[in-house]
Structure 1
Amino acid sequence: MTSPFTELLASKIRTALEQDWQNVIAVSEFIHANVEESSKEFACSARLTTELEHHGFTVEHGVAGMDTAFRTVEHGVAGMDTAFRASFGSPSAA
């Protein structure tokens, strides 16, 4: 079930991705080129948090006692939660 708000949010996300698509690809390629052992994704974590901060997010580092874990919480519309989760890494780096 969608609402006018979720349709608007999806449209805004699509537009933001289209406007910054080259950077989205660059970040993806960086992660692919920098395979790191699970829970030791220091370079990739740093790249992602730098990107988030560059786009105005406040990043909380070291979440759940993990040096590479982070989160950002932005407040907007009351009663509406949207989450994006990313998990990356390799059980054992090649």
Structure 2
Amino acid sequence: MRSIAKAASIAALTVPLVLGTAGLASADGHDGGPAYKQQSNSATVNGGASSKVVSGFTPDGEAYFLTETRVAGPTGATSSVVASRS
């Protein structure tokens, strides 16, 4: 059971890498407001990792921020998310 959970975690982390989003950074507007996004993904035989930072303003002038980190390795997986919105 543990190896199934580990394989599922690693697969979930490597899908963005396969889709070609490794090292993506952009300043595209989100919902019409100014925004920033940086994303990084990696995978090795020992596990995988993914991180993302998103921030900006909505068209209504609300500020938002999100940082997300996910890591999976031979002994388990962890995830951390911090988000805020004004």
TM-score, reference length from structure 2: 0.29
The structure that is strand-richer by fraction is 2
The structure that is helix-richer by fraction is 1
Point out which structure has higher relative CO (alpha carbons under 8 A, 6+ apart): 1
TM-score, reference length from structure 1: 0.28
